[in-house]
Amino acid sequence: MKKPRVDIETTHRSVTRRALVIGGVQALFVGGLAARMRFLQVEQADQFRLLAEENRINVRLIPPARGEIFDRNGVPLARNTPSYRIVLVPEDTGDIDVVLERLAQLIELDDETMERAKAEIKRSAPFLPVSITEKITWEDVSKVSVNAPALPGVTPEVGLSRVYPLGSDFAHVLGYVGPVSDYDLGKLENPDPLLRIPRFQIGKVGVEAKSEDDLRGKAGAKRVEVNAAGRVMRELDRREGAAGVDMQITVDSQLQNYVQARLGEESASAVVMDVTTGDLLAIASSPTYDPNLFVSGISSKDYRALTDNKFRPLASKSVQGTYPPGSTFKMIVALAGLEAGVITPDETVYCPGHLEIAGRRFHCWKRAGHGEIDLKDSLKQSCDVYYYDLAVKVGIERISAMAKRFGLGVRHDVPMSAVARGNMPDKEWKRRVRDAEWRIGDTVNASIGQGYLLASPLQLAVMSARLATGRAVSPRLIKSINSAELPSGSGGEIGIDPQHMQWVQDAMFSVVNDRRGTAYGSRIIDDSVRMAGKTGTSQVRNITEEERRAGVTRNEDLPWERRDHALFVNYAPFDDPKVAVAVVVEHGGGGSKAAAPIARDVTLQALYGGEPPLETYPVKDRDRIEKQQSDLRGIRPVANIGGSDQA
C-alpha cells in the first residue's frame, strides 16, 4: 500500500535533521582534534622536542624570606643577607661520592662538612636539593659554574642567610635559627613541606622559635626544566611565596648592650621593666654566646666549649633560672601580714639573733640580733626574726596567695624558651609533690625566701613593678607585628590597701637611702631619680650548729658553687616610678655587695637613656664609676666560652 505523501515528507525531514546533527558533531570533533594537533605539533613543538631528548619538568618550592626582628627603636637585631651556596640533587648526580670529590677539588670542603652532606643526602628524598655548603664566595661560584659538565646535579644558588648584627647581646632573647632536624620533624603531626627541604632553617630557641609560624612565611613554587644530566635548562613559571612578618620587640638595644657589659664575666642575669606598660627594656644573661655560630651548624668544638662551661652560657638565666628569692621576698610577707590585720607598722618584735619555734632555733643573719624592731626597720635592716614571727601569725596560705598576686609562682607569657614558673608552695603543694604534710618550720623558712620557694629574675622584676605601681603589670616582649602595636601589659589595680602599699614602699626607700639600710652603699644622690629597693642573699648550703659556734665560713673562702646567691630588686624614681630592675648574681655572696651596685648602675642607665652624670653617684664612688664608664663605653660582649672561677 502506498504511503500518503504527508508521511513521506515528515520522514524525509526527520532523516535530514538527524544527518545534520550527526554531521555537525563529527565536524566539531574533527575540528577540535585538528586544533589540538596543531597546538601540540606547532605551538608546543619545542617543548616536546626537549622532552623527547629526556628532559623533564620539576616543581621546586621557593623558600620565603624570613621575617626580620628589630628593637623598640627600629635597630635591626635579626636580618636576612644574600648568601651563595652549592646544592646537589641526588637523583641527577649519578655517583655522588665521585661528584663530591670533584667538588672538593674546586672549593674548600672540610671533612665535617662532607660527612654532614652525605648524611643529609641519605636522609633526604632523591629529588630534593641538598645544600652542600653555604656562605661561599663569588669566586667559588664561578669555579663550580665553569666546571658544570663534570658536576652533574650540582648547582650554585643564591639564598638568604640569617644574621644577628649585635651578636651576643640578644642571644638569650632572640635565640637563633638552624637546620631542621629529625627531632624537629618528629614533634609535628603535619609538617610544612618547606621543612622537608634539607638544611632549611627554623627557629630553635628564643623568639625565633616561639614565633616560628609568623616569622617563617609561606612557600612559593617554580617549575623548572632540567636535562638528562640534571642541569636546569630554564625556568618555566614561578609563584612567589609570602614573606614572614617583621617584628619589633620592646628591648632597647643600647640598654641591653650596657647591661650585658655591666654583668661582665659574672654568672648573672638582669631584667629591666617599664612599670607603666610592662615593656621589657632589657633582659640579659651572662655569660652569653654568639648566635651566628648556630645558623649554618655549630662545630663540635665550639659547642663543647659552651656546654662544658660551668657558668652555663647557653641558659637564659633571666627567665629559665629559678632561685630562692631570699630577703627580696620579705615585702610579700609584710603585705600578707598587713592585709590580714595581724600587724601594724608600729608594732615591734624583739630580735635576740634567733627565734625558738617548735623546739628548733632559727637564726637571724645578724648574730647579735637587732633588738626591738618594727616593720620599717625590719626591711631596712633585713631582720630575719621579725619575719619568722610574722609568718607564724599569717600562715603559708596567705603568704603564697599574696606572692601569686605579685607575679611569683606564675609562668608569664613571654615568647622565650623554657620560661620558668618558679615555685610558691602551700600545704596542698607539699602533699601533692612531696607526699608529706606542711610543717611550721616550712613556713618559717618561706618567710625569708628560703625553703621550697623559687623565683626567676623576670618574676622578681614583675614583683618590683607591681610594688611600685600597685597595678597588676605584666611583662611584654613583642611590641609590634608588621607595625601593628600589641596590647600593653599595664594591668588593673592589684587590690591592696594603698596605705599598706605606702608603708612597704617607704620601707624599701629606707633600705637604699637610710644610713642603716642594707643597700645604702648603692644609693643614688640625685633626688629626682632616687630609688627604692631590697637586698637579698639566698643560701645554697646548710649551715650546721657546729659551724655557727666556730664561726660561719665567709663566702669568699668557699668554692664558687657553694657561695650564696646575691639578689637585688628596685624601682625608680621613688616618687614617680618608671622602671623596675631585678639582678641575680649566682654565687655572688651578699646582695648588697654583688647585686645592688649592678642594679643601681643599670637603673641610672635606663632612666637617663645613656651614661648618667657622675653627680648622681656618691662622691666617694665617682672616680671608680668614671673609670668603669670608660671601660664599658662601646663594649659589645662576645661569647664567653672559657669560664671563670671568679663570681
User: Is the separation of the CB atoms in 270 and 460 below 8 Å?
Assistant: no
* Helix, strand, coil fractions of the chain, as percent rounded to 5: 45, 20, 35
User: CA angle at residue 395 from 389 to 398, to 5 degrees?
Assistant: 125
The three cell numbers locating residue 392: 607564724
H helix and E strand count, the chain: 24, 21
Q: How far apart are CA 389 and CA 380, in angstroms?
A: 17
The three cell numbers locating residue 93: 648526580
DSSP 552: P
Pairing label, strands 69-70, 247-249: parallel
What lies within 8 Å, CB to CB, of 621 at 6+ separation is none
Is 327 considered catalytic here? yes
Catalytic residue, chosen from 269, 285, 316, 327, is: 327
Q: How far apart are CA 371 and CA 348, in angstroms?
A: 9
Closest CA to 379 of 443, 428, 346, 330: 330
Backbone angles phi, psi at 36, to 5 degrees: -65, -40
User: Is the separation of the CB atoms in 540 and 588 below 8 Å?
Assistant: no
The three cell numbers locating residue 214: 609568623
CA distances from 274 to 335, 466, 512 (A): 23, 11, 20
Count other C-beta atoms under 10 Å from residue 431's C-beta: 12
Closest CA to 606 of 574, 636, 571: 571
Catalytic residues: 327
